[in-house]
């Protein structure tokens, strides 16, 4: 039996660990504690290759940047 864990959608309260902007990407590292890092789109692009190479599981919600409800409230 396979177990799938679905992470909760990122909210406005989730902030980029690098700059504090709203996070749209969660990267979970393959460590014993499953360390999570949150990124804005800009900082994820800067670190994406290293995260993927390290085996991180990536929850990418950057598509939400194009949603009308997001664009109208920024």
Domain annotation covers residue 59: yes
Supply 61's token pair. 């919600």
Domain enclosing residue 61, as ranges: 25-73
- Is the pLDDT reported for residue 60 higher than 70? yes
Strand residues in 5-73 grouped as ranges (E): 25-28, 36-39, 57-60
Residue 67 lies in a domain: yes
Per DSSP, 63 falls in state G
Residue 66's pLDDT band (boundaries 50, 70, 90)?
Answer: confident
Closest CA to 23 of 38, 36, 45, 6: 38
Asked whether the beta carbons of 41 and 65 are under 8 A apart, the reply is yes
Task: Write the CB contacts of 46 (distance below 8 Å, at least 6 apart in sequence).
Answer: none
Instruction: Give residue-wise pLDDT tens across range 21-56.
Output: 999 999 999 988 989 999 999 999 999 999 999 999
pLDDT band at 67 (very low <50, low <70, confident <90, very high): confident
Number of domains in the chain: 1
């Amino acid at each position: 039996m396979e177990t799938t864990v679905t992470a909760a959608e990122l909210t406005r309260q989730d902030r980029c660990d690098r700059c504090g902007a709203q996070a749209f990407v969660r990267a979970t590292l393959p460590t014993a504690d499953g360390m999570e890092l949150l990124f804005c789109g800009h900082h994820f692009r800067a670190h994406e290759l290293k995260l993927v190479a390290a085996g991180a599981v990536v929850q990418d919600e950057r598509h939400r940047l194009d949603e009308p409800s997001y664009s109208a409230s920024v």
